[in-house]
Amino acid sequence: MTLFVDHRGETCTSEYLAYRNLIQEIRDSGEISKGPTAFGNKDAQNFENTFNSFVLYTR
């Protein structure tokens, strides 16, 4: 299983990435017109915290 951190600081799997890409393709085709919420300060802080935890874990 592949794990990664998305731009909002959430730890995700490769399966989630495939799902996210599928939803984006549907959005691009016009079938879904609403996208994700705007990136905010809380998202940046979550990413920073998760990234720092990852760096400390891999040392």
Question: Quick one: pLDDT at residue 18?
Answer: 92
Q: Where are the domains of the chain?
A: 1-27
**CB contact set of 30 (below 8 Å; sequence gap of 6+):** none
- Please give the single-letter amino acid code of residue 51: F
- Distance (Å, rounded) from C-alpha 47 to C-alpha 25? 25
Question: Quick one: pLDDT at residue 26?
Answer: 92
SS3 13: strand
Residue 5: both structure tokens together: 């951190």
pTM > 0.75: yes or no: no
Model confidence pLDDT, tens digit, residues 3-27: 888 888 888 888 988 998 999 999 8
Percent of the residues in the chain that have a pLDDT greater than 90, as a whole number: 37
Question: Quick one: pLDDT at residue 2?
Answer: 63
